[in-house]
Amino acid sequence: MNLNKTIPLLAAVCGGMIWLGAARVLADADDKPAVEESVVTEVSVQVGQVTVATLHGYVQGYGTVEPAPATADQPAAGAQLAAPSAGVVTKVDVIEGQHVEKGDVLVELNSEAAEQEVERQEKLYAQQNTSLKNLQEAEAQLALLRVTAPLSGTVARVNVKPGQAVDLTTVVAEVMDLDRLAVSAEIPSAEANDLKPGSPVEVPVAPPVTTELLFVSPNVDKDNGTVLVRALLPKNSGLRPGQFVSLRIVTAVHANCLTVPAESVVTDGSGKSVIALVQNGEATQTPVQTGLRENGLAEVSAPELKAGDVVVTVGAYGLPAKTKISVQNSPGGGTSTNSPDAQ
């Protein structure tokens, strides 16, 4: 056998067989219908509802409880009392915590001689042996040696004791009317534009205390950029002078507005606020206008948005504009993977 002729012949035969096999495979493929695979991805989320509520806008701050300042009708509710003249304390007539009436003597200086002079002048005046002027001068000298209460209230502090020397700068006692207290706070000027006397004030203590602003300073403190505000506290508020408290001043009230759980409001790629409305197992991004926020709720408005609509809460951030979802709770808060809105 001539190998030079046999080898090319075998190669041609094998090539033909390979070509026929490939042709059959292609023909079989053409005979089978094309199958398009579509994979639908469901995102697990939790949902809440659109509700109607009343929301408030607040300015928050911190303040100190102190005696109420003087008003047109009443004097200041607290007074630090200095010695009316230099001398030596001979008697302290009160103790801390004691109730006193206006005019009661609290502390006496070395006043024995002055008392005797007043008694002498009174007798002489009764006998018409001295002038009214002399008697009044003796009484004035005695007054300079007695510290009296300028208001009815509680002795908050006694700073002296018998035998102690005092002068005009010595604060010997302090009296407060504990039924008339106020809270003063410094609010950043950028947040003070909406504040005005009469604005409701809440002091979140137990039990909560409610009142209203009495005073809003027209001046800004140049050292810290704040505005002083003050509110009178109701009688028996349970607060004490010197106590540090937080307070909320109501600046806006939006009644019967549409609200959603605050976590359901997210920002889309263009920077707009959106919520994901749920219907027929799909969540669709819906642009909204936002307003006040309070107690985990956010005020929203949008065309055709209504109370009872279901929105995505947990899982809302980064959710596609429209996507299939699997709801893991009921809108009312119970856990369920078979919510009707998920079907």
The pLDDT value given to residue 112: 63
Q: In this structure, are residues 37 and 249 in contact, taking their beta carbons and an 8 Å threshold?
A: no
The pLDDT value given to residue 184: 97
The pLDDT value given to residue 333: 58
**Beta-bridge partner residues of 250:** 58
Per DSSP, 70 falls in state: P
Backbone Cα Rg of the chain: 43
Tell me which residues of the chain have a pLDDT lower than 70.
Answer: 1-40, 111-115, 117-118, 121, 138-139, 141-142, 332-343
The pLDDT value given to residue 337: 42
What domains, with CATH codes, occur in the chain?
A: 43-54+255-342 (2.40.420.20), 57-66+179-254 (2.40.30.170), 78-176 (2.40.50.100)
**Beta-bridge partner residues of 247:** 61
Question: CB 269: neighbour CB atoms within 10 A?
Answer: 7
Peptide bond into 197 cis (omega under 30): no
The pLDDT value given to residue 269: 84
Q: SS3 of 59, please?
A: strand
